[in-house]
Structure 1
Amino acid sequence: MKQIHWPYRLLAVGHSILLLFLITACVDKKGDTNSQVEENVVADGYDRLHLPMTPPETELFTELDARNAKAPKQWSIKAPEGAPNVVIVLLDDMGFGASSAFGGEVKMPTAERLAQKGIVYNRFHTTALCSPTRAALLSGRNHHSNNMGAITEVATSFPGNTGMTPKSAATIAQILKYNGYNTGHFGKNHETAAWEVNNSGPFDNWPSYKGFEKFYGFMGGETNQFYPAVYDGTNKVEVNSEDPNYHFSEDMTDKAIAWVQSQKSLTPDKPFFMYFAPGATHAPHQPPASYINKYKGMFDEGWDAYREKTLQRQIAKGVVPKGTKLAPKPEYIKDWNKLSDQEKKLYARQMEIYAAFGEHIDDQIGRLYGSFEKMGIADNTLFIYILGDNGASAEGTANGLINENTYFNGVSEELDYVTANMDKLGTRESFGHMAAGWAVAGNTPFKWTKQVAGNFGGTRNGMIMVWPKKIKENEVVRNQFAHVIDIVPTILSATKLPAPETVDGVKQMPIEGFSMIETLANAKTPEFHKTQYFEIAGNRAIYQDGWVASVVHKAPWESKPPVSLDKDTWELFNVNDDFSESTNIAAKNPEKLEELKKLFMEEAKKHRVLPMDDRTVERFDPKAAGRPDLMNGRKSLTVYEGMYRMMENAFINVKNASSSITAEVDVKPGANGVILAMGGRFGGYSLYVKNGMPAFTYNWVGKEQYDVLSNKALSPGKHIIKYDFKYDGGGSGKGGLGALYIDGVKVAEARIKNTNGSMFSLDEGADVGFDEGTNVSKNYAVGKNRFNGKINYVKIDVQ
């Protein structure tokens, strides 16, 4: 007798229970969409509440000859009939007022075309920082619920901030894959614990194990567009970065298009989910040179004029209400008309480069969407274009930066220094960032920027949805309050899938967002997301029914907050009347303010926001932050030839301490090449041989190169080369004395005046036998520095 698989028994005896669960558990709170999901789950015979699904048990056959038996129907997982392809495009560090689609001066014709084709959302919110936004985006749960209260590199041991996303918060990629979708992720990850980005794993939190069948991109918070640190799955791959025309944004777009073409060629009826997350427009600002000249002179009027003109265009486009006022600039941002000619020239050039970067990535998104149109699949593709994972970044501080790595090490770049190197901006010679004044302008009409979760300038981003098959009314801007956690429930509603009860045997926490699906058809849909907290490093806010209570605890350009968390001053805004949060009305509404402050604490307790941690740069040190460290306090590490891109958070830490590097090598006449390198052109150190003579270079945040050079050559044969560093002490980033030894004999000594106190690089790690990516030292060339002898081992010791 044929056995009946348990899900079918469940449908037979517990139909009413299943329907009750669906009513309460489905992410879409609206009745019509809920009924669609219920009907689909019941009708198609799949248990979509427990993932992965298992096939029904098959009958046992007693017939000897297969010719005399009827084969059972093959079982396979299929997506709901008519389910759309789903694409999420997430730009990086682009503010609400940057794109031309939202009134800004960064030309983004693809965004404009899609805005006309689809629907524009003008009250969509992120978390104010990249890793937190991405965790919330992919799971439908708040960032602290995902243990992602900040970027992974500054995780702590407190719940809500561990940097380890829980298995009870499955990604939309896992859900869709288990429901019959192909899944691909291209571009930035930044969702894997920093100490787990290594060749030894574990790999559970890499994209390939979080639901993505295909991953082609980079793992950290940023990457060099010309020398990217690219992975295909969990394997590091080399790109042709020495090609003068190579650019990562174009490379990842090529790979994404090819992946879709392959999927639709072989399985045309199978839908796909793509997460397309470029590094643009995060620092380093590195567009192709051909784009930069398009903007020559466009920003000469400065950021104050930009804000005023952008607001006028925003009102004309309807992306902000009539009567909206510009919020005042932070006092730190100077009036443009009070700047020197030197400052104006420099700052205008920085914005030209940023705008070029924005237009270039928009063109790549145009190529991607155009490929869907050519393949005839655009009509049933839900295309979600989010213009920024937070507000524009003010991490360039007052003058902008030649090398963003200086910001993370607390090293200033003075105006004269940045100006003297201005021609390098946007090229392979810089890791540049724009002045903070442009970040404020890019967030028009708001006051603040990235990192500031206490203001919409840090959390308000433009968003466009396109789904030609379903969207018919596309002329009215949608102004319902929405948050990044609403994307997953919206996708589940669109695909007619329920939020699963279990995934991989793990009970799932409730989805915390709300479906936006009804807004696609009806611009007058009542507001569905009534309460939302925000918090990043003590910057915090609470939204409820049009009211916002908020705290700006620390500005991005401040090394430390001016007051302790308990001494913060709260502000109050009614954003139903004051779109831009231009007028603080706390003094007039003390009772409302106290009510919202109390509500914030309730939400903070519920979502594991507490205790808040307002440290920033200090948390780059695992010991200070109290997070796991792959080295686990080890004072010695031995590595071998061929090991490479060992990221800083998974490598022995030599910063702010005395240390030594000892290498055993075999050489022939004419010895050359790198023995060990950490980091690259914008910060790091390297032990190498040049013209037979050992050498060591310490690259201090790209500003200074300190060389320790031997005047004695290596004879053919085996040698022990040692570099010894005696740290001065007295704090972080201090100097010391470096010495080189050959077989125990000192052959060179030099002063290292400054060192990197917090990090060498977010995207370049340690290499043995060559220096991959950019070169630490000017004394050898990029791509032509492989050691031509044999390295038996390299041992690093920290005292």
Structure 2
Amino acid sequence: MKTIHLLAGTLLATLSPLFAQTEKPNIVVLLVDDMGWSDLGCYGSELKTPNIDQLAKDGLRFTQFYNGARCCPTRASLLTGLYAHQAGVGHMTEERKDESGKTYPGYSGRLNDTSVTIPEVLGEAGYFTAMTGKWHVGQNHGVTPDQRGFQRTLTAAAGGFFFPEAKNARLFYNGKDIGSNGEPLPKDWYSSDLWTSFGLKFIDEAIAAKKPFFLYTGHNAPHFPLQAPAEDIARWRGKFKKGWDKLREERYQRQIAAGLVDKSWPLSPRPAEVPAWDSLTPEQQDRYDHLMAVYAAVLERMDRAVGDLVNGLKQRGQLDNTLILFLSDNGGNAEAGVQGRSDGRNLGDVDSTVFIGQCWATLNNTPFTRYKHYTDEGGISTPLIAHWPKGIAAHQRGALEKQPGHIIDILATCVDVAGAAYPETFKGKAITPRAGISLQPAFKHEKLARTQPLFWEHEGNRAVRYGDLKLVALENQPWRLYDLATDRSEQNDLASSRPEVVKSLSEKWQGWASASNVLPLGAWRGKNNGQDAKPNKNTRFTLKNGEKLQRSAAPDVANRSLDLTAKFTATGEDGVIISQGGANLGYSLSINKGKLTFFLRSPGNISSVSLDEPVGGTVTAVASLKADGTTTLSVGEKQASGKRAGLISATPKDGLVVGGDDAAPVGPYEKAVPFKGEIESVELVLGAR
């Protein structure tokens, strides 16, 4: 009998490593809110994030990972493995309808039932599924975490708070509304700490149930209104008085040294509207320093919470077999503009509202251009750190992974790691095939199996990346083309020199948009696609060839004089240089029947002024509508004038186009012909109403 026991013990000892290898891994996804690509110490920052940095040191850092440019779309893509519009959350959580009252499928404001979430898939594979933190994918429409696969939850419908006394503090525990101080909440809490403590509580339940677990934590840090304990803020006061110019340069140099960016990529220039730090008064510098100190304190406290979670996993013997994925939902946030926002007596306390604004957001996204909302690299780039001692090869720990990845890949990775199966149908509904791929090959330094381009659209801003080539555009603006291998900071536009690439990639984007519930562009505004939105308040516009502005972005020409200056090279052929409006209201400058002509309509009645002699070569044309109805047109010494009864009586519903006339034509031309010459610029100045 003793011999049998010894043999059994020997056999068990031999098989135990095999059992360990087949044990399903735990998975933890940590998503933070409004943190820029360069804000972590391990991505070049001066901010203190030692716990996250340690995950990077022991794990893998992705240098070209992408989000969805905004919180709701990113969350929808992360949870479903689909592009956000496919999941129904192409914008925020407002439901958008067309003229007939039918909901746009891509803008329903909530996860749809043709998508399936990570916890729904992993739950079918035997996982214990839990969530803490910010949900924000349709609770206002009745779509809650417990309905989408999470078995344990402590969540906020949207966010907007850090302390229990905050007016927006409202929590849901396993689906039950418990306000800000109901059971089982502690009396005093800070949200970053709360998400971790309840995450560990749920993990304990999974361990007791002897199940692998999936935990998703949606941190609301460092999203506005930025709030943190006073002592945390105090430690950072004065640390940012170097200013954004020097701090950007220092981050950039650390990124080059670490191999995060190529030294051939230039640091994007400080935007023109952002003042040089040295131009500010000491009082202004102190205020900006205070804003950033609050941000740093919020980020530091979130990092501490990540450290508490990692230590909790280690104490429970779970760390080695847990895949941790850490990332941000969009780039740094420039909302509140150049000034930022500093409401309240004690900045950072529960009664204050702090936005760091555009100046510091430019630092957040070093070395890239633009911010949250945009599909330029500053808006869509996120750190991604993968930590998994049992699953990441030893030679990959501390390494940089430079293959591009996208938020749509998170579900595919979780399903792959868990050995689960992505369903064709779920709860009686056909499920949209997943859009992403597994990142697990990168854990072994193997090639990712991506065959399709990566796509984006948010608020009309759009992009497609195929290999190293990226096509990107602002809403109603022409495409720009960049080779990210040599210019990831997007400073050298190749569109004019490689029109065949622009055509090919734009067609790929159009095909994706047509198949993915993205269109019509502008549907995110809802009925009329923004036609009912208030017109632009600006009175001065500088425009380029190919620019298109919808009504909400176009000049508000109603009952205003206007002065238009166009610099172009004429070829002798007819064509429209600029138009705004249509057959009822608007104006256009065009070469029509060989003559340079300034057309005006209001309402419906058309008037014009033309130069008798044709124009050719490179010219500067000046067209004006004066307050008394006088119209003038000149090119050098050539001049013409006319008179009409009044100004344009209302701002047209149709938008503005440089180089064409896309709507019902303003002019009497039989067909609006696009301008075939070169348009250097068009400047428009509106008078007072």
Shift of 1:105: 2.0
- Contact 1:537–1:615 (CA under 8 A) maintained in structure 2: yes
Structure-2 separation of matches of 1:458 and 1:621: 23
Structure-2 separation of matches of 1:439 and 1:155: 30
Equivalent position of 1:208 in the other structure: 146
Structure-1 separation of matches of 2:95 and 2:384: 28
Match of 1:164 among 110, 113, 125: 110
Equivalent position of 1:176 in the other structure: 122
- Contact 1:154–1:620 (CA under 8 A) maintained in structure 2: no
CA separation of 1:536 and 1:176: change in aligned 2, threshold 3 A: same
Q: What is the 5 A alignment of 1:255-266?
A: 255-264=198-207, 266=208
Structure-2 separation of matches of 1:284 and 1:183: 30
Matched, 1:497 2:420: yes
CA separation of 1:506 and 1:570: change in aligned 2, threshold 3 A: same
Q: What is the 5 A alignment of 1:263-412?
A: 263-264=206-207, 266-268=208-210, 270-386=211-327, 388-402=328-342
Q: Extract unaligned runs of 5+ from structure 2.
A: 1-19, 98-102, 534-689
Shift of 1:355: 0.9
Shift of 1:292: 1.0
SS of the residue corresponding to residue 190 of structure 1 reads: coil
- Contact 1:354–1:434 (CA under 8 A) maintained in structure 2: yes
CA separation of 1:96 and 1:380: change in aligned 2, threshold 3 A: same
- Contact 1:514–1:529 (CA under 8 A) maintained in structure 2: no
Shift of 1:194: 2.7
User: So what's the TM-score if we normalise by structure 1?
Assistant: 0.60
Structure-1 separation of matches of 2:436 and 2:529: 33
Q: What is the 5 A alignment of 1:119-198?
A: 119-153=60-94, 155-156=96-97, 157-192=103-138, 194-196=140-142
Structure-2 separation of matches of 1:193 and 1:588: 47
SS of the residue corresponding to residue 355 of structure 2 reads: coil
SS of the residue corresponding to residue 477 of structure 1 reads: strand
Q: Deviations over 1:66-92 (max 9, x none)?
A: xxxxxxxxxxxxx99411001000000
Equivalent position of 2:503 in the other structure: 594
Q: Deviations over 1:598-628 (max 9, x none)?
A: 2211111111110111776x99999979xxx
Shift of 1:578: 1.2
Q: Deviations over 1:744-774 (max 9, x none)?
A: xxxxxxxxxxxxxxxxxxxxxxxxxxxxxxx
SS of the residue corresponding to residue 447 of structure 1 reads: coil
- Contact 1:106–1:356 (CA under 8 A) maintained in structure 2: no
Query: Residue 337 of structure 1 aligns to which amino acid in structure 2?
Result: D
Equivalent position of 1:456 in the other structure: 377
Q: Deviations over 1:697-751 (max 9, x none)?
A: xxxxxxxxxxxxxxxxxxxxxxxxxxxxxxxxxxxxxxxxxxxxxxxxxxxxxxx
Equivalent position of 2:191 in the other structure: 248
Q: Deviations over 1:355-412 (max 9, x none)?
A: 11001001001101110001111111011111x100011112121113xxxxxxxxxx
Q: Extract unaligned runs of 5+ from structure 1.
A: 1-78, 197-204, 403-417, 554-564, 626-799
CA separation of 1:586 and 1:160: change in aligned 2, threshold 3 A: same
Query: Residue 126 of structure 2 aligns to which amino acid in structure 1?
Result: G
- Contact 2:59–2:399 (CA under 8 A) maintained in structure 1: no
Shift of 1:445: 0.7
Structure-1 separation of matches of 2:94 and 2:241: 37
Shift of 1:527: 6.7
- Contact 1:571–1:585 (CA under 8 A) maintained in structure 2: yes
CA separation of 1:623 and 1:277: change in aligned 2, threshold 3 A: farther
Structure-2 separation of matches of 1:595 and 1:340: 50
Matched, 1:222 2:160: yes
Q: Deviations over 1:165-202 (max 9, x none)?
A: 22221101101112111100100000115343xxxxxx
CA separation of 1:379 and 1:441: change in aligned 2, threshold 3 A: same
Structure-2 separation of matches of 1:458 and 1:592: 23
Structure-2 separation of matches of 1:173 and 1:537: 29
CA separation of 1:392 and 1:622: change in aligned 2, threshold 3 A: same
Query: Residue 202 of structure 2 aligns to which amino acid in structure 1?
Result: W
Shift of 1:536: 0.7
CA separation of 1:160 and 1:615: change in aligned 2, threshold 3 A: closer
CA separation of 1:140 and 1:344: change in aligned 2, threshold 3 A: same
Q: What is the 5 A alignment of 1:747-762?
A: none
Shift of 1:123: 0.5
Query: Residue 168 of structure 1 aligns to which amino acid in structure 2?
Result: T
Structure-1 separation of matches of 2:513 and 2:74: 17
Matched, 1:585 2:526: no
Structure-1 separation of matches of 2:465 and 2:529: 33
CA separation of 1:425 and 1:100: change in aligned 2, threshold 3 A: same
Query: Residue 119 of structure 2 aligns to which amino acid in structure 1?
Result: A
Q: What is the 5 A alignment of 1:669-680?
A: none
Query: Residue 520 of structure 1 aligns to which amino acid in structure 2?
Result: F
SS of the residue corresponding to residue 112 of structure 1 reads: helix
Shift of 1:335: 1.9
CA separation of 1:263 and 1:615: change in aligned 2, threshold 3 A: closer
Shift of 1:161: 0.9
Structure-1 separation of matches of 2:153 and 2:161: 16
SS of the residue corresponding to residue 368 of structure 1 reads: helix
Query: Residue 394 of structure 1 aligns to which amino acid in structure 2?
Result: A
Matched, 1:466 2:387: yes
Shift of 1:465: 0.4
Query: Residue 211 of structure 1 aligns to which amino acid in structure 2?
Result: G
- Contact 1:109–1:362 (CA under 8 A) maintained in structure 2: yes
Query: Residue 266 of structure 2 aligns to which amino acid in structure 1?
Result: K
Query: Residue 497 of structure 2 aligns to which amino acid in structure 1?
Result: K
How many pairs are equivalent?
503
Equivalent position of 2:458 in the other structure: 536
Structure-2 separation of matches of 1:88 and 1:232: 19
User: So what's the TM-score if we normalise by structure 2?
Assistant: 0.70
Structure-2 separation of matches of 1:330 and 1:317: 26
CA separation of 1:615 and 1:399: change in aligned 2, threshold 3 A: farther
Shift of 1:155: 4.1
SS of the residue corresponding to residue 295 of structure 1 reads: coil
Shift of 1:341: 2.5
Structure-2 separation of matches of 1:529 and 1:330: 36
Q: Deviations over 1:37-83 (max 9, x none)?
A: xxxxxxxxxxxxxxxxxxxxxxxxxxxxxxxxxxxxxxxxxx99411
SS of the residue corresponding to residue 371 of structure 2 reads: coil
- Contact 1:153–1:193 (CA under 8 A) maintained in structure 2: no
Q: What is the 5 A alignment of 1:10-159?
A: 81-153=22-94, 155-156=96-97, 157-159=103-105
Equivalent position of 1:484 in the other structure: 407
SS of the residue corresponding to residue 124 of structure 1 reads: strand
RMSD (Å), alpha carbons: 2.6
Shift of 1:552: 2.1
Structure-1 separation of matches of 2:163 and 2:288: 22
Structure-2 separation of matches of 1:371 and 1:470: 19
- Contact 1:114–1:464 (CA under 8 A) maintained in structure 2: yes
Structure-1 separation of matches of 2:147 and 2:24: 24
